[in-house]
Amino acid sequence: MALTTSTLERYVDRTSPVHALDARVKVLMTLGYIVTMAVLPHGEWPALAALAALLWWGVWHARIGIGLVVRRAFVALPFALVAVSLIFARPGAPLFELTIGPWQLTASDAGLIAFISVVIKSWLSVQAALVMIATTQVVDVFLALRAFRLPAVLVAVLAFAYRYLFVLIDEASRMLRARECRSAVRPGQRGGGTISWRAAVVGQMVGTLFLRSYERSERIYVAMLSRGYRGEVRALELQPLDVRDRGALIGVLAALALILYGALVW
């Protein structure tokens, strides 16, 4: 089946107070939320519950559905499982022992708490990023990054990578469809030969896709130069933040600071 742009496009078109906020405000909110998660000590369950409630309160106001955000955030869990070594690396009261060949590993209560905390923090941080993406057009995100004085080259590379990733997906889909059309297979049987033969075919397809992408990039760059491109995408000047945007930003950052202060001091 051919992939479409909806495979990667995560914007959810709604009319909500969160959608109406300026992209710069939502980027700062997301960064503040993720930094708070990173600084928060392990095992601070009340603070984690408060941060989760704050995030899901924003999801409810965004009208995109908590279930949608939670399901999409599960993509981060396999990467968070890399922290499973914390269970055996952190000193603490022993819980159980695990023998792997010549090694004998001892799990500790502090390590288990650290592992669970890392998984929850990663899961909630990804949800925060998904909320920003689901409520903000990607073009507005790039304009917000430029407003924060990120290098123009970096923002341009990100913008072009996002734009032409869809083109590469369509190109790969056409190549796969062409291969299937030229593969005469009886019903119920798989086409092709050995694994090495399949690997060689896939390698040739990847090489062809790389060459086509390289040639396309050269043509696009020449076309952009002929239209006056000088290394930065031109856009209208961003308007100053209004009272609503400033109030929302101050309120969310104050709530994050209060939660972090409570976790560190109390």
Mean pLDDT of 85-105: 78
Q: In degrees, to the nearest 5, what angle opens at C-alpha 16 toward C-alphas 13 and 19?
A: 65
The Cβ-side half-sphere exposure at 87, using a 13 Å CA radius, reads 16
The pLDDT value given to residue 185 = 58
> Is the pLDDT reported for residue 160 higher than 60?
yes
Model confidence pLDDT, tens digit, residues 28-76: 999 999 999 999 998 899 999 999 999 999 999 998 888 888 888 887 7
Mean pLDDT of 8-33: 87
Give the model's confidence band at 9: pLDDT under 50 very low, under 70 low, under 90 confident, else very high. Answer: low
The pLDDT value given to residue 10 = 73
The pLDDT value given to residue 184 = 59
Report d(CA 180, CA 209) in Å as an integer.
Answer: 17
| Pairing verdict, β 94-100 and 103-108 | antiparallel
Do the beta carbons of residue 63 and residue 14 sit within 8 Å? yes
Give the model's confidence band at 107: pLDDT under 50 very low, under 70 low, under 90 confident, else very high. Answer: confident
Model confidence pLDDT, tens digit, residues 135-154: 998 888 888 888 888 888 88
